[in-house]
Amino acid sequence: MVEQLPAPVGAGVYNVYTGEPAGTAVPTAAQLGLEPPRYCAECGRRMVVQVRPDGWWAKCARHGRVDSHELEVQR
């Protein structure tokens, strides 16, 4: 099963938590529901992250903003 995640969290080029080359370590929507990403998965830039009581959003200057609501995390 392939999950459709927006590029800043699902591209799989960089680890969204460390900013290092990710290999195949693409986080699942469930993981992202627990811990917001810090780096863009597509370009490795540090993202602006805002955590809310009900989720988070993260913004890459090049690839746009991702909102946790868009990931349709199953709780």
Residue ranges in contact with Zn ion by CB under 5 A: 40, 42-43, 60, 62-63
Closer by beta carbon to Zn ion, 22 or else 60: 60
Least separation in angstroms between residue 29's CB and Zn ion is 18
- The CA distances from residue 48 to 3, 16, 21, 74, in Å, are 24, 12, 19, 24
SS3 content of the chain, % helix, strand, coil (to 5): 20, 25, 55
Least separation in angstroms between residue 6's CB and Zn ion is 10
Closer by beta carbon to Zn ion, 11 or else 74: 11
Least separation in angstroms between residue 9's CB and Zn ion is 10
